[in-house]
């Protein structure tokens, strides 16, 4: 048995290094073997990205809750209802009597929350609010989705709610051009005000509609200097003040149109 070991090794070794051995190209870390005369393997093409069927947007039903100490009654339109006797926004145009601003709807395009207001041609509305403490500058902002390429087709101003004890101060967008989503942020920092302060908004376009949302009026940060100038719309804001005085006047009011319609429907259903 011991004499057979050299012969076995001599037979086995040529078999391991024979001339009929085949080498296959290998792919190491995604790179084909670069052996000469061997074509690289064909890698599969990347699949095209899938086409989305729908998009999902998260909205807070309470609006912009990060804007603490908002002095407007309902800057996000989230509490507006057709049955309310008091309203956070009122029509501020030439109307016979007071009426709440009714052009409020749920819309996925709203800037904050699930509801926002919309304006058509030459409309005027006002958000009712109050002024911060005495001696404090006032910071105001409003988001507007405009029908066009310039933010000036919608105007806004801080005004006194009842009588013109304080100057009207205009809000403007920093560069006057809507962002990629069509929104403009109108802003201003105004000097301290002595009376209740409202936010007046007017449309100046001839076609289309504008969304308005996320209105905030609050005390400016300490050290913030006033940035706004007087608004050149005194005649129109004077009319708005008359409409707001109607809204703030105590006493019984006529029921809202939606409440009247619901009452008629309920009578028929009995």
Domain ranges in the chain?
89-250
- Distance in angstroms (rounded) separating the CA atoms of residues 111 and 43: 46
Q: Please report, in angstroms and rounded to a whole number, the separation of the first and last CA atoms in the chain.
A: 114
For residues 163-170, average pLDDT: 90
Tell me the H-state helices in the chain. 5-16, 234-248, 257-269
Digit-coded pLDDT (tens) for 63-79:
898 888 999 999 999 98
- Whose tokens are 């190209």? That residue is 25
Residue pLDDT, tens place only, 133-142: 888 999 999 9
pLDDT digits (tens, 9 = 90+) for 77-133: 998 877 766 788 988 886 655 678 889 999 999 999 999 999 999 899 999 999 898
Confidence of residue 23 (pLDDT cuts 50, 70, 90): low
Yes or no: is domain 89-250 CATH 3.40.50? no
Give pLDDT, residue 250.
76
Strands 183-190 and 115-119 turn out to be unpaired
Q: Rg of the chain's alpha carbons, rounded to an integer?
A: 35
Could you tell me the pTM of the whole model? 0.75
Quick count: other Cβ atoms within 10 Å of Cβ 35? Answer: 11
Residue-level pLDDT at 119: 96
Distance of CA 232 to the CA centre of its chain: 28
């Amino acid at each position: 048995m011991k004499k057979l070991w050299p012969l076995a090794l001599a037979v086995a070794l040529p078999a391991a290094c024979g001339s009929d051995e085949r080498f296959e190209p290998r792919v190491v870390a995604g790179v084909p073997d670069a052996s000469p005369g061997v074509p690289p393997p064909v890698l599969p093409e990347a699949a095209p990205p899938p086409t989305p069927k729908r998009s999902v947007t998260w909205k807070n039903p309470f609006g912009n809750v990060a804007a603490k100490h908002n002095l407007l009654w309902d800057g996000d339109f989230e509490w507006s209802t057709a049955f309310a006797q008091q309203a956070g926004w009122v029509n501020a145009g030439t109307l016979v009597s007071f009426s709440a601003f009714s052009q409020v709807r749920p819309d996925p395009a709203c800037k904050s929350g699930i509801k926002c207001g919309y304006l058509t041609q030459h409309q005027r509305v006002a958000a009712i609010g109050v002024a911060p403490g005495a001696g404090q500058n006032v910071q105001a902002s409003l988001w507007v989705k405009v029908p066009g390429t310039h933010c000036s087709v919608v105007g806004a101003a801080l005004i006194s709610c009842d009588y013109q004890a304080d100057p009207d101060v205009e809000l403007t967008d920093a560069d006057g051009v809507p962002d990629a989503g069509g929104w403009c942020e109108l802003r201003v920092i105004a000097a301290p005000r002595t009376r209740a302060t409202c936010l007046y908004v007017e449309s100046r376009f001839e076609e289309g509609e504008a969304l308005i949302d996320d209105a905030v009026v609050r005390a400016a940060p300490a050290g913030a200097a006033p940035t706004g100038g007087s608004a050149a719309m005194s005649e129109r804001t004077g009319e708005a003040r008359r409409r707001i005085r109607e809204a703030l006047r105590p006493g019984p009011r006529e029921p809202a149109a939606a409440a009247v319609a619901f009452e008629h429907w309920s009578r028929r259903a009995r």
